[in-house]
Amino acid sequence: MGLLSSLQQDVGRCLFLPAHGRGAALPNSFRRLLQRRAGYWDLPELPHIGGPLESEGAVAEAQQQAAEHVGAQRAWFGVNGATGLLQAALLAITRPGQAVLMPRNAHRSLLQACLLGELTPVLFDLPFLNDRGQAAPLDAEWLINVLGALPLPTKAIAAAVLVHPTYQGYAGDLKPLIHLLHNEGWPVLVDEAHGSHFLTDVDPLLPRSALHSGADLVVHSLQKSAAGLAQTAVLWQQGDRVDPTRVERSIGWLQTTSPSALLLASCVSALNEWQQPQGLRRLKCRLDDARHLTKRLRRSGLPLLSNQDPLRLVLHTGAIGISGLDADAWWMPRGLIAELPEPATVTFCLGLAKHRGLEQRLRKAWTSLRSAHPDRGAQAAFEPAPLPLVGIPDRSLAMAWRAECETVPLDAAEGRIAAELVCPYPPGIPLLVPGERLDRQRLEWLRRQRILWGDQLPERIRVVRASEPAHEPVAGHG
- Tell me what percent of the chain is helix, strand and coil, each rounded to the nearest 5: 35, 15, 50
109 binds ligand PLP (CB under 6 A): yes
Q: Tell me how far apart the alpha carbons of residues 194 and 189 are, in angstroms, rounded to a whole number.
A: 14
What's the distance, CA 12 to chain centroid?
Answer: 24
Q: Which is nearer to ligand PLP, 230 or 408 (CB)?
A: 230
Which of 13, 20, 104, 107 contacts ligand PLP by CB under 6 A? 107
Q: Which is nearer to ligand PLP, 234 or 403 (CB)?
A: 234
What's the distance, CA 444 to chain centroid?
Answer: 27
Least Å distance between CB 335 and ligand PLP? 24
Q: Which is nearer to ligand PLP, 211 or 464 (CB)?
A: 211
133 binds ligand PLP (CB under 6 A): no
What's the distance, CA 428 to chain centroid?
Answer: 7
116 binds ligand PLP (CB under 6 A): no
**Burial state string for 302-319 with b = 16 or more CB within 10 A and e = fewer than 16:** bbbbebbbbbbbbbbbbb
Give me the phi and psi of 120, to 5 degrees please: -100, 120
The backbone region for 335, taken as left when phi is positive above 0, alpha when psi lies in -120 to 50, beta otherwise, is left
324 binds ligand PLP (CB under 6 A): no
CA angle at 402 for the pair 111 and 192, rounded to the nearest 5°: 10
Q: Which is nearer to ligand PLP, 228 or 279 (CB)?
A: 228
Least Å distance between CB 276 and ligand PLP? 24
Q: Give the interface segment with ligand PLP, choosing from 201-209, 396-404, 420-428, 452-460 (CB under 6 A).
A: 420-428
12 binds ligand PLP (CB under 6 A): no
Least Å distance between CB 40 and ligand PLP? 26
426 binds ligand PLP (CB under 6 A): yes
Q: Which is nearer to ligand PLP, 211 or 320 (CB)?
A: 211
Q: Which is nearer to ligand PLP, 78 or 318 (CB)?
A: 78
163 binds ligand PLP (CB under 6 A): yes
Which of 45, 125, 191, 273 contacts ligand PLP by CB under 6 A? 191
Which of 18, 27, 81, 434 contacts ligand PLP by CB under 6 A? 81
428 binds ligand PLP (CB under 6 A): yes
Q: Which is nearer to ligand PLP, 214 or 427 (CB)?
A: 427
Q: Tell me how far apart the alpha carbons of residues 269 and 263 are, in angstroms, rounded to a whole number.
A: 10
Which of 53, 119, 171, 193 contacts ligand PLP by CB under 6 A? 193
Q: Which is nearer to ligand PLP, 162 or 398 (CB)?
A: 162
Alpha helices (runs of H) in 379-473, residue ranges in sequence order: 397-402, 440-453
Written as one string, the DSSP assignment of 312-330 is: EEEE-GGGGT--HHHHHHH
167 binds ligand PLP (CB under 6 A): yes
77 close to 63: Cβ distance less than 8 angstroms: yes
Residue nearest to ligand PLP (CB): 81
330 close to 369: Cβ distance less than 8 angstroms: yes
The backbone region for 39, taken as left when phi is positive above 0, alpha when psi lies in -120 to 50, beta otherwise, is left
A 10 A CB-CB count for 410 gives 18
Q: Which long-range contacts (CB under 8 A, 24 or more apart) does 52-56 make?
A: 52/76, 52/77, 52/78, 52/79, 52/251, 52/255, 52/259, 52/264, 53/248, 53/251, 53/252, 53/255
Q: How many residues bind ligand PLP (CB under 6 A)?
A: 14
Q: Strand, coil or helix: what is 34? A: helix
Q: Give the interface segment with ligand PLP, choosing from 140-148, 242-250, 292-300, 424-432 (CB under 6 A).
A: 424-432
348 binds ligand PLP (CB under 6 A): no
Q: Which is nearer to ligand PLP, 93 or 322 (CB)?
A: 93
Binding site for ligand PLP (CB under 6 A): 81-83, 107, 109, 163, 167, 191, 193-194, 221, 426-428
